[in-house]
Structure 1
Amino acid sequence: MWVQKIPEFHSGHILKREMMAELSAYLYRLGPLLYQNCADGIVSGCMLTTTEDSIVVNPGIIRYEGDFYLIREPQLALYAPTNTTRVLNLVFHDQVQTDSFVTREIELAFTEGASSEKRYMELCRFKLQPGARLRYTYTSFADRETEYDTLNIIHAPFCGMGRPTLSPEITAHFAREALDVGAEGTDAMFCMMLLASKEPVQAEALEAYIHSKLGKGYACHSNLGMYQGLISCLKQFKGGQDTAAPKRKAWSIMVD
């Protein structure tokens, strides 16, 4: 048998240590219990937008080493054109424990290419040309992988059961485009499930769907693999026409 105590806070009551302990236990243990079999990653929010010179990381919740961290206010990371692949990461520093708090500092940091360090969690990557502005909107699902001047969030790990998964923004984009080009039957049902999901869709479900369309030999072991699998599924819906993203901007020069 166990007893659950819910503290009651009323005007004039004495605030007891036991009341705060019960409140703390509920607030800080509920999340880890709900997501105890999940991989580290973004749980909710953390949408990325851009300004003329900054990437904006909007409020959200992150899971790291089983603990949950809240981004309460938009965080800015200044960017500049380098014509190389730059990755924006969340960097988790070691915990510091005192009598009153357990503290962990978290910061935004750029790396040239992806980092192999566990404490680095990728949010996005891009390759920006001089004179260009970094964009976060897309003309199509395939456009998300455009090499230049485009914010790429494909590799960002979202909290999924057992392993990271794709952003719900990406899976919803796939669903809308698939329905627009004529997905029917079980394909349409899968797309509606993607649109209805309030949380990141499990990688296992995405993998099973991709394998049902492309065969079990298709590799879905990473976010990029799942994204490219969904690209191939869209290609089937579009009757085999090429859906590959452009790797480079095309420039036209007229000479008189």
Structure 2
Amino acid sequence: MKTRIEVDDSLFANQYPHFQKGRILKREMLENLRDFPREFLDIYFQDYSNGIIAGAKITVADTLLIISNGIMKHNGSLYMLTDSFELPYEATGNETILKVRFAEEVNDLDFSKHTSQIVLDDSLELAHNELELARFKLKLGAKLRSQHIDFFDFATEFNTVNYLHCQYAGLQKSTYHPVVLQYFARELLKNRPTNPYDIAFAMECINQERVQRDAIDFYICNRLELDYQSLTNSQIHKYLNRILMEAKGGGRMKGLSQGRPKRVIVD
């Protein structure tokens, strides 16, 4: 007995309007152009957490922070910065956070508007409508820099753009900024690691646009033989730096014993 397959036009589909001379421009044709890219992005990123989806890179020019165009997600909505944005900054000696502050939805007859502001704030707390892009602590008379010397430099306290606490969107929960992971991976691979965990993770960091949070936690805990735990952003950088120092030194630093003095008992 043959099974009959019913075709339903409401399933997976791709419909694109034809704009041809002599044909009437219909409302449905314009709605198709309006809705397709928005629906595509919403579906593609529906399982992602709040945070940066793409772009929003930071460079420093004299007394300006330049945030490149990019996409962010907040409370289920996607926000696009279509042109780079310049924000003046000054030295205060205090830790300052570069934040995106999201406004309440505004509705009028023509649009539903979701807007935001990019601000510098000395408050280290994030409100429910704020996301962190980066932070820095600039001494009076010093220059701020956005280029990093090496992986450890991302944790430099003064005069350096710090991405370690940035919220980067990942599946279900935010993940680590790929710029930091790529620095780690390149430095690690230059030292010709032999540990299979190191090789696999480093290649993942270089090949993928983002590495999911669980993959980072599992790599660090397995690599350092720690009990599995959800690591903070600061812990991730600390442990990755430990792995990198081990690779550069050719030694082995197991678990949490790094830095503890070895005791030799002489009988």
Does residue 10 of structure 1 match 2:20? yes
CA contact (8 A) 2:50 2:168 kept: yes
CA contact (8 A) 1:157 1:223 kept: no
Q: Secondary structure at the match of 2:148?
A: coil
Structure 1 counterpart of 2:156 = 146
Aligned residue pairs: how many? 241
- Structure 2: runs of 5+ lacking an equivalent: 1-7, 254-267
Partner amino acid for 1:141? F
CA contact (8 A) 1:235 1:241 kept: no
Structure 1 counterpart of 2:204 = 193
CA contact (8 A) 2:204 2:211 kept: no
Deviations 1:56-81 (A, max 9, x none): 10011111111211111110111111
Separation in 1, partners of 2:117, 2:172: 26
Q: Secondary structure at the match of 1:228?
A: helix
Partner amino acid for 2:202? C
Structure 1 counterpart of 2:143 = 133
- Output aligned runs, 1:1-256, within 5 Å: 1-3=8-10, 4=13, 5-186=15-196, 187-197=198-208, 199-217=209-227, 219-239=229-249
Partner amino acid for 1:100? D
Separation in 1, partners of 2:89, 2:20: 49
Structure 1 vs Structure 2: percent identity of aligned residues? Answer: 28
CA contact (8 A) 2:51 2:74 kept: yes
Separation in 2, partners of 1:114, 1:12: 60
Q: Secondary structure at the match of 2:62?
A: coil
CA contact (8 A) 1:49 1:136 kept: yes
Separation in 1, partners of 2:117, 2:50: 17
Partner amino acid for 1:99? L
CA contact (8 A) 2:218 2:228 kept: no
Compare CA radii of gyration and give the structure with the larger one. 2
Cα distance, 1:219 vs structure 2: 4.8
Cα distance, 1:13 vs structure 2: 3.1
CA contact (8 A) 2:170 2:213 kept: yes
Deviations 1:133-168 (A, max 9, x none): 100111110111100000001111111011111111
Q: Secondary structure at the match of 2:93?
A: coil
Partner amino acid for 1:191? A
Q: Secondary structure at the match of 1:148?
A: coil
Structure 1 counterpart of 2:261 = none
How high is the TM-score relative to the length of structure 2? 0.84
Separation in 1, partners of 2:228, 2:235: 8
Distance 1:143 1:74, change over 3 A: same
Task: Compare relative contact order (CA 8 Å, sep 6+) and give the higher one, 1 or 2.
Answer: 1
Separation in 2, partners of 1:216, 1:16: 62
Q: Secondary structure at the match of 2:136?
A: strand
Separation in 2, partners of 1:90, 1:149: 21
Separation in 1, partners of 2:138, 2:22: 59
Q: Secondary structure at the match of 1:108?
A: strand
Partner amino acid for 1:102? S
Deviations 1:5-51 (A, max 9, x none): 32222344332111122222311121121121210111111111001
Q: Secondary structure at the match of 1:147?
A: coil
Distance 1:62 1:130, change over 3 A: same
Separation in 1, partners of 2:226, 2:111: 49
Partner amino acid for 2:115? E
Q: Secondary structure at the match of 1:124?
A: strand
